[in-house]
Amino acid sequence: MKKAISVLMIAFVSVAIFSGCSKTIPAHSSPTGIMTATEAGVAFSSANCYERSTAGYYNVYGVSGSTAINLNIKSTNLTTGSYHIDSSGTNHSAGIAINGNYKKASTGTISVTTINAGANMIGSFNFTCTDGTVVSGSYMAVF
């Protein structure tokens, strides 16, 4: 029974996170990246962080249990620098889902500090959700 509830929760979180961005979580054969963050002072840590490019976006996903963070950078040629999130979310966007409750970023920054071609991208993020929740952290996403 617990396993069925867990599977349903993961499916619900996945749908909730990506309903405003991409529609599915792309598969990754061996995710080994990391993401750490705090959400309203609560620690988050994921050993499952990866990047997938889709339709002109670089999408970074960090997933751990029933919590997932997504960062989306609109670009056809990713470079190091800062990408500013705005309330429209049409250029760059982010969000967090906890136990199926999705919170969309209204303002913030996604920074890319290092790009190791064919291997990973490294950076940090800080955003405020539409409900005022502050999320900040860092990532190393495998390609």
Q: What is the pLDDT of residues 25-79, one digit of tens each?
A: 444 455 579 999 999 899 999 999 999 988 889 999 999 999 999 999 999 888 9
pLDDT of 143 reads 87
One-letter amino acid for residue 46 of the chain: S
Q: Give residues with Cβ within 8 angstroms of 115, minimum separation 6.
A: 78, 79, 80, 121, 122
- What is the number of structural domains in the chain? 1
pLDDT exceeds cutoff 70 at 2: no
pLDDT of 35 reads 97
**Tokens found for residue 98:** 């906890």
Range of the domain at 61: 2-142
24-31 contacts, C-beta under 8 A, 24 or more apart: 25/61, 25/63, 26/52, 26/54, 26/59, 26/61, 28/52, 28/142, 30/142, 31/142
